[in-house]
Every structure is written in structure tokens, then in C-alpha cells.
Amino acid sequence: MRSGHRPFNKVFLMPLFLFLILWARPLVLAQTNPAVAAAAPPIAIAPEAVEPVLFAISDFLENAQFEQALALFDSIPAVARNSSDVRLLEASVLSSVGRFAEARTIVQAINQSDPQNIDALFLLAAIEGVEGRDRQQREALERILAIDTNNTEARIALGNLHLSVRALRDAADNFRHVITMEPQNVDALLGMGRLLRINQEWNYAEAFFNRVVELHPNMAEGRSERARFYRQRGRLGEALADLDAAMRLSPGDYWIAIDRGTILMDMGRRPQALAEFERAIAINPDEFFAYIFTSGLRETLGDLDGAQAHYAILARLRPDYHYALEGLGLHLMRNERWAEARDAFLEAHRQAPTYNHYALLAGINWIRMRTDPMGARNFLRHAIARVQRDSLEWHMFRLFYDLAANVFAGETNMLTRLNREQDETLRARMTFYMALFFDIRGNTNMANRHFLMVHDINRTTIPEWRLNRWILEARSLTPL
């Protein structure tokens, strides 16, 4: 399930929200020079001067055509174009297409000329939140509360921000302030429920979640949050029942599908879990999270080609996730696609340089390509410098370093060291690489013997175990 409630993010709702503001009041030109503002009254702008452009902007916003909406701002008459309302609308659209620096510049200029502009402060807080600038987001929300101490939206946003950094006392103060004013405020009730769950005050947390569901039985979020509580308490049946209801209420919610899939996995119902994660992908195929589960589940359920395809998608969507590259590399090795496997492990090694097996696997695949042995040798020469000298790993790197130059040395020494190794996990990993060494050498009998030895050591959590199992199946090797 999700790791926590996402803090305040108003950016993507802001354009239409501000559009409604524009129609609810006359446009007023904000004087940016304080002296001029003091001497001259604000200039009222006739709505008919901007109505056609605002209508067109509204149409584009409703269809999420933000770039087209931005292009129309230059068509607004100059006096209206410089008004705080129109500039704030433009800033919110800029933020919706990820142009946060430009949006921030506009909003800060508005705040400088009009420090009491709460709409601008809300947008600033949202921009800071999306960019992960927690301190600046908090300061913007606190400025809103300095203007209006009872602003419930700002208090809830600030409470969730405090909750995200585990400042539980500050979060509780804000949620309680809102609940005192509005006892049925669902966001404040959910915030308190999450806080109490984190604090392991189980009975109180459940009471708040129950209250939300009682007040809003047709709100999916209340049921999905209570399901999260149930899961944490090991009440999986109740969690699934809530998520079933949440799914019916909001069938297009990606994260409800993720949560249901996770519960089904917890219950050992892997085929149903896979189907639910596949449903999440159908909802949003460009979000990476579901592929983490589908790649592993497809592999577990025997769909190895499907697993490889999903690891490839995951590596494309989240290129900094080295476990995706690991899974992809192992499957490419399974299919003897040595060059692609080498590239996958080279990138994994670049991202996680302390994972020595990524470098070793990259070197092994490089050797198996048989087109650039000196490239493999040079890579392993640099990689071995990171490995503790005279360790079992170091000697394995050295074995393949020599192999890249057709120097067959160190084999007997390595076998002796393997037999003496007391760490069973390390012995399993190095035995697997010894099997690959013999395989490359063409000594199939010794290779198969060592693949079977890896199975007998039985360290199923190491990544090499998966590839070893596939090799045994492909060669019809049956462990005793």
C-alpha cells in the first residue's frame, strides 16, 4: 500500500478553481508600485473585454490542453493581462505543465505587491510541495494562517505536511483545530486517523476511520484508509471487504487497485493479485509502481517472458530503480541475450556500485559475447579495485578477469576456497559463478554439477537463485 498520505498538492486543481474566481468578481488591475497604488484607485476591467479569451482558456483547461491555454494569455488585453487574477491563473496553468520556476516567479511577484493574497499563497504552497521543498511549503501555509487562523484547508494541508515528516504533535494541533470548528470535516478526521495509526493508538485510530465511513459511506478514500488500518492490524478479510467497496465506488482509482493487489498477495491469492495489479496498469500504464508487482508475480507464476517484458517496462519508466535492471538482466541471460544483459548490469552497477555482483554479472556477459574480450578484461580490472582484496569475491573476479584473456588460472584455488567457506549465502553465490565459469570454458559436466550444488545450498533469496533455477529447468537437471 501507499507509504503515507500525500501532502498538500493543489497545483493541478488550481486552473479551473481560479477560472471560477475570475467570473465571480470583476477583474482588478493590481498596481505593482506601492506609491502609485496609494495615489490611484484600482482600475476595474470590463468583463466583456476578456470574456471570449477566458471562455477559450476554460475549454482548453477542461480538456487538459494546458499548452494551448497558455498560448491564449497573450490575447488578453494588456490591462487585464497584468491583473493579479489573470497572472495567478497563468501561474497555475504553468504549474500544471511542470513549469514551476516561471509559476513561482509570478506568484512571488503577486505576493510582494499583495501579501494578503491567499489564493497566491495556496498556489505557492502547492508548487513548493510538488518540488519537495517542505520548508518553503510550510512557510507559505503558515503565512495563510497568519492571515486567517481558521482557514481549514491550510490547517489540513499543514497537518498532513507535519504528518509526512512525523511531526505528530504539530500535525495533531492542526487537525484538532479543524475538528473543533468542523466536527465532521472528513479531511481532518482522516488526518487524525492516520496520525493515531502511526502512533499505534489502535482503538482511537479505528474510531476515527469508522466515523469517516459512517459520515461518508459512499466515499472511496474513507474505506481505503480504513483498509490500510485493517491490514496493519492483520485483519485482511476486513481490509479486502473495504477495498472491494472502494473499488465499486471508484473503479478508476489506481491506488485502490494497488492496495487490493497487495492485500490479495498477503492472503496468498497470487493469480487474483496479479489480475488486480494488471487492472491498475490498465488504469494508468505510465505509472511504474504496479510493474514492480506484476514482474515478480508473473515470474513466480511461471510466465517468464511476461516477467521479462514487465521488467523492461519498469526499467524504462523508472530508470533509477536498479532492481528492475537486475530482473531484466537475469531474464536476458536466461534467453542468452548477452549484450543486452551486459548493458542492463552495467547500468545497475552504475546506480548501485556497492553491489559487486552487478559488476561481476556485467563482466561475465561481456565475456560471453566473445566479441570484445579486452573490453571485458579492462572493465573487470577496474571493478575488482572496489572489492576487498583476498576475499572470496575478489578471487572470483580475478578468475573471470583471467578468463577474459583465455588465461585458465586459479580454478583449483577457487574450488578450495569454496569448500572452506562457512558463510552459506556467500558460498551459494560464488558456487553459481563457478558454474558459469565452467560453462563458459565448455566443461558442461562441471558446470551442471555446480548448478546442482547451488540448489542444494538452498539460499532462495539471492538473485542468482532465480537464474540457477531456470538453468536447471532448461537443462532438465533434477536435484537429488
3 state SS for the chain:
CCCCCCCCCCHHHHHHHHHHHHHHCCEEECCCCHHHHHHCCCEEECHHHCHHHHHHHHHHHHCCCHHHHHHHHHHCCHHHHCCHHHHHHHHHHHHHCCCHHHHHHHHHHHHHHCCCCHHHHHHHHHHHHHCCCHHHHHHHHHHHHHHCCCCHHHHHHHHHHHHHCCCHHHHHHHHHHHHHHCCCCHHHHHHHHHHHHHCCCHHHHHHHHHHHHHHCCCCHHHHHHHHHHHHHCCCHHHHHHHHHHHHHHCCCCHHHHHHHHHHHHHCCCHHHHHHHHHHHHHHCCCCCHHHHHHHHHHHHCCCHHHHHHHHHHHHHHCCCCHHHHHHHHHHHHHCCCHHHHHHHHHHHHHHCCCCHHHHHHHHHHHHHHCCCHHHHHHHHHHHHHHCCCCCHHHHHHHHHHHHHCCCCCCHHHHHHHHHHCCCHHHHHHHHHHHHHHHHHHCCHHHHHHHHHHHHHHCCCCCHHHHHHHHHHHHCCCCCC
Look at residue 40 in the predicted model and tell me its pLDDT. 41
Angle between helices 202-215 and 220-232 (to 10 degrees): 160
Look at residue 48 in the predicted model and tell me its pLDDT. 52
Check pLDDT > 60 for residue 320: yes
For residues 476 and 2, the model is more confident at 476
Taking residues 194-216, what's their average pLDDT? 97
Look at residue 86 in the predicted model and tell me its pLDDT. 84
| Window from 5-9, 51-55, 139-143 with minimum mean pLDDT | 5-9
Fold type of domain 319-474: 1.25.40
Look at residue 31 in the predicted model and tell me its pLDDT. 40
Look at residue 230 in the predicted model and tell me its pLDDT. 98
Phi, psi of 43 (to 5 degrees): -95, 120
Look at residue 193 in the predicted model and tell me its pLDDT. 97
Distance of CA 292 to the CA centre of its chain: 10
> Over pLDDT 90: what percentage of the chain?
77
Tens digit of each residue's pLDDT (9 = 90 or more) over 343-370: 999 999 999 999 999 999 999 999 999 9
Look at residue 97 in the predicted model and tell me its pLDDT. 84
CA distance 84 to 99: 19
Check pLDDT > 90 for residue 327: yes
> Which of 311, 310, 304, 342 lies closest to 327, judged by CA?
311
The answer to whether the beta carbons of residues 20 and 62 sit under 8 Å apart is no
| Alpha-carbon torsion (209, 211, 212, 214), positive or negative | positive
Look at residue 45 in the predicted model and tell me its pLDDT. 41
What mean pLDDT, rounded, does the chain reach? 89
Taking residues 316-341, what's their average pLDDT? 97
Check pLDDT > 50 for residue 8: no
Amino acid at 168: L
Look at residue 252 in the predicted model and tell me its pLDDT. 97
Fold type of domain 1-148: 1.25.40
Check pLDDT > 50 for residue 13: no
Check pLDDT > 90 for residue 90: no
Q: Which residues of the chain are in CATH 1.25.40.10 domains? A: 1-148, 319-474
Check pLDDT > 70 for residue 434: yes
For the chain, give the longest Cα–Cα distance.
95
For the whole model, what pTM was predicted? 0.82
Taking residues 302-314, what's their average pLDDT? 98
| Window from 82-86, 178-182, 447-451, 456-460 with minimum mean pLDDT | 82-86
